[in-house]
Structure formats: C-alpha cells, structure tokens
Amino acid sequence: MRHSERHYSQRIGWLRAAVLGANDGIVSTASLIVGVAAASADRGAVLIAGIAGLVAGAMSMAAGEYVSVSSQADTEAADLERERGELESNEAFEREELAKIYMERGLDAELAQAVATQLMAHDALAAHARDELGLSDIHRARPVQAAMASATSFAAGAVMPVIIVTLVPVQGMAALVAGGSLLLLAVLGGLAAGAGGAGKLAGAVRICFWGALAMGLTAAVGAALGTNV
C-alpha cells in the first residue's frame, strides 16, 4: 500500500488567499460600517455602505490578486523558457550545474552526477525547474484560482458585519458591530493558524489587534466628521 503524506506547506497557496480575503472582508467592511455608524447615520445608510463596501472590496481583491499572481506566473514562464533554451544549447553544462546543486546539498560527486543524469533523462526541464529555479506544483502561480479564492473569501468575511447590522439595534450599533467582528476575527485567526500548523492563540491575537486598530481609527473619523460635516 502506498503511503501518502500531506504537509502544511501544501496548503500555502489557497490558505494565504483565503485568510487574506476573509480577514480583509471582515476588517474593511466592519471598519466602514463602524465609521458610518459612529457618524450617527441610520440603519439604511449603514447597510448601503456595508453592501457597497462588500462588492467593491471583493472585486478589488479579485483584480489585485489576479494581477499580482499573473505577474508571478509570467516570471515563472519566462524562467522556464530560458531554461529550456539553455538545455537545448548546452545540455552538458546544465547537467554539471544540477550535479553541483546536489553536491551542495550533501551528495558526493559521483552520486550527484548519477542523480543529475537520471533525473535529466526522465525530465530535464522539470528537474531544473524544481532544483535550480525552486518551482513546483505546490507553489506554482495560479492567477484565476487565487482571484476566485480571494473574492469569495472576502465576500464571505464581509457579509458577516452586514448581517450583524440587520440584527442589532441602532443604538450602540458601532460597538456591537465592532465586538461581533472582533469575535469573528478571533475565530478566523485561530482556524487559519491551526490549518497552517501554528499556535491558534497567537493567530487570533495578531488578527484581532489589527482589526481593533482599524475599527478604532475609522470610528474616530466617523465620530469627528459626523459632528462637524
């Protein structure tokens, strides 16, 4: 029976995009809602601001992630194309280069040469992509996947503060939305840290700190503008 292991590093791609999106969704939308609510706006105005922030934020996350990861994918493709050309023009040099990499990792010269020869005979480009360029399927850039994950997770996070607005009384809405959102952030931070193999408490604390800071600043802006504009 073949034994298959799953490591935390295999989750890096989707976990980063999902956590970043959900965190931004909660923090930015809750901060927007808290700022508008602190300006003494009614529930309708707060809801409009929250929903508009949800849609705009989800699209911004998708576009930003797609552009960023597409640039990474373009760089990877250019590196692979250049490596393909070098393999075609000077295969012997590339074999020596690969063997030196293995020697630096602890293999003796004879074994390093044998490994380099066998791997290049099997798939020379894949061997150089993995061991020279550091590219692998786990870390390969996937723009559409990253954009969809970011937009979906942002919307999933952003909808929570909006729902809270519909459930709490107008009096004290800002504080209730902030408190509920911080609780959601704590859960998100703990789950994300656990999924990545890190301490849940540390993950919850750091995400709550930045969330509280963002909501506090926007509440102060909303309160100041609400009384002066």
Selection from 13, 17, 36 nearest residue 25 by Cα:
17
Residues 113-133 have pLDDT tens digits of: 888 888 777 877 777 777 777
Residue 43 CA to residue 168 CA, distance in Å, equals 10
Selection from 32, 49, 27, 11 nearest residue 149 by Cα:
11
Name the one residue in this structure whose structure tokens are 């809270």. Answer: 164
DSSP E strand stretches across the chain: none
Query: Looking at residue 3, what is its pLDDT?
Result: 45
Structural contact between residues 222 and 40, judged by C-beta atoms closer than 8 angstroms:
no
pLDDT-based confidence at 1, cuts 50/70/90? very low
Please report, as a single letter, which amino acid is at residue 176. Answer: L
Residue 222 CA to residue 14 CA, distance in Å, equals 35
Residues 33-43 have pLDDT tens digits of: 999 998 877 88
Contact residues for 197 (Cβ-Cβ < 8 A; gap 6+): 8
Please measure the distance between the N-terminal and C-terminal CA atoms of the chain and give it in whole angstroms. 71
Domain ranges of the chain: 11-228
